């Protein structure tokens, strides 16, 4: 099957979908992004790359960074991490507070904001300089040394991140945040501000498509079992409270971010990134979801 013509076909079919969504504006710096950007990129485990559209333009990866932070923490702590986090879908929006009270400050999973804030706290305790460690990790797995944080986006989110601050203080009251809340939030916002292109994002997820090992370098990032478990978490919780619908329509593990990116993997075969900034009401890229659905439909490849 010709993957290049498949993604070009999808690209040409997507424009009408993007126009129905809205670019994230609750983080003021994100509202400046053009809604017309569109990129699709595929890396196969065999080393082939297929791309169409704005694939080289860095954008704010936002919640996709939760996968990278969690990978670093899980690699160090293994199953111990589940004392601080759950692994169930939340069924609530990504920044919801309600469940945390019932569940004693233990977030449902690492891919909602509360969960990623706990992961930021864990990384602050594990690494002397987690900001630099995370950046270097992402640069390595994406094979792109120019990747950086966008300090304007991080500041913009800090200035307006009242809900995330509420989540962090609330969890602190249950003893599930160990470092000073200000430090944890600063690191969480910085992580969300990472900027990467669709090309880099697709490349950076290859270890999850290849049993925890980067195919081009053979570097083992995670064990086979750990990679399997992160993929399971992505399929159950990777698209906020739209994860069930995404699994039903697409059938691939994936993670989205409010910058309009979605990255997914087909185990043992490929990783795929789509970027289109306009979002639906769940905070997921509208055209991105369409693209993923068409990709598994046209190729006939999904984990189901």
**Residues that are catalytic:** 63, 66, 188, 240, 258
- When asked if residue 192 is in the footprint of ligand GLU (CB under 6 A), the reply is yes
Residue 120 Cβ vs ligand GLU, minimum distance, rounded to whole Å: 11
Q: What are the beta bridge partners of residue 279?
A: 22, 285
Residue 94 Cβ vs ligand GLU, minimum distance, rounded to whole Å: 5
Cβ nearer to ligand GLU, comparing 124 with 192: 192
Q: Using H for helix, E for strand and C for coil, what is the string for 133-169?
A: HHHHHHHHHHCCCCCEECHHHHHHHHHHCHHHHHHHH
Residue 261 Cβ vs ligand GLU, minimum distance, rounded to whole Å: 9
Q: What are the beta bridge partners of residue 58?
A: none
By DSSP bridging, strand 261-266 and strand 270-275 are antiparallel
229 in Cβ contact with 186 (< 8 Å): no
Among positions 33-62, residues that touch ligand GLU (CB under 6 A) are: 62
Tell the burial category of 142 from Cβ atoms under 10 Å away from its Cβ (0-12, 13-18, 19+): buried
279 in Cβ contact with 260 (< 8 Å): yes
- When asked if residue 257 is in the footprint of ligand GLU (CB under 6 A), the reply is yes
Cβ nearer to ligand GLU, comparing 105 with 212: 105
Among positions 57-96, residues that touch ligand GLU (CB under 6 A) are: 62-63, 94-95
Cβ nearer to ligand GLU, comparing 134 with 213: 134
- When asked if residue 258 is in the footprint of ligand GLU (CB under 6 A), the reply is yes
Residue 224 Cβ vs ligand GLU, minimum distance, rounded to whole Å: 28
Per-residue contact flags (x/-) with ligand GLU for residues 131 to 170, judged by CB under 6 A? --------------------------x------x------
Residue 174 Cβ vs ligand GLU, minimum distance, rounded to whole Å: 20
Residues, the chain, total? 304
Out of 71, 109, 113, 150, name the contact with ligand GLU by CB under 6 A.
113
Q: What does the block give as tokens for 210?
A: 């290849």
- In what order do the strands lie in the sheet containing 261-266? 49-53, 39-44, 270-275, 261-266, 254-256
| Number of other CB atoms surrounding residue 121 within 10 Å | 26
Out of 171, 283, 288, 296, name the contact with ligand GLU by CB under 6 A.
283
Binding site for ligand GLU (CB under 6 A): 62-63, 94-95, 113, 157, 164, 192, 257-258, 283
């Amino acid at each position: 099957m010709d993957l290049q013509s498949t993604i070009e076909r999808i690209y040409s079919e997507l424009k009408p979908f993007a126009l129905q969504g809205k670019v994230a504006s609750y983080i003021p710096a994100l509202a400046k992004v053009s809604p017309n950007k569109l990129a699709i990129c595929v890396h196969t485990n065999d080393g082939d790359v297929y791309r169409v559209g704005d694939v080289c333009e860095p954008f704010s990866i936002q919640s996709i960074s939760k996968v990278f932070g969690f990978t670093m923490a899980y690699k160090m702590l293994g199953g111990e991490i589940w004392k601080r986090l759950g692994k169930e879908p939340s069924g609530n929006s990504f920044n919801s507070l309600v469940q945390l009270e019932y569940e004693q400050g233990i977030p449902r999973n690492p891919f909602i904001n509360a969960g990623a804030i706990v992961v930021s706290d864990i990384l602050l305790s594990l690494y002397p300089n987690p900001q630099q460690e995370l950046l270097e990790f992402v640069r390595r797995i994406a094979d792109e040394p120019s990747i950086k944080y966008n300090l304007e986006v991080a500041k913009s989110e800090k200035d307006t991140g009242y809900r995330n601050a509420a989540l962090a203080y609330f969890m602190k009251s249950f003893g599930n945040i160990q470092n000073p809340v200000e430090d944890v939030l600063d690191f969480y916002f910085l992580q969300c501000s990472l900027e990467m292109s669709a090309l880099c994002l697709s490349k950076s997820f290859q270890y999850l498509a290849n049993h925890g090992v980067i195919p081009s370098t053979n570097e083992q990032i995670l064990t086979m079992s750990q990679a399997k478990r992160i993929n399971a978490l992505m399929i159950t919780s990777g698209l906020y409270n739209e994860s069930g619908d995404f699994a039903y329509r697409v059938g691939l593990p994936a993670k989205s971010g409010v910058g309009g990116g979605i990255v997914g993997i087909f185990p043992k075969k490929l990783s795929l990134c789509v970027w289109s900034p306009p979002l639906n009401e769940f905070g997921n890229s509208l055209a991105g979801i369409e693209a993923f659905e068409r990709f598994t439909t046209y190729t006939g490849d999904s984990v189901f």
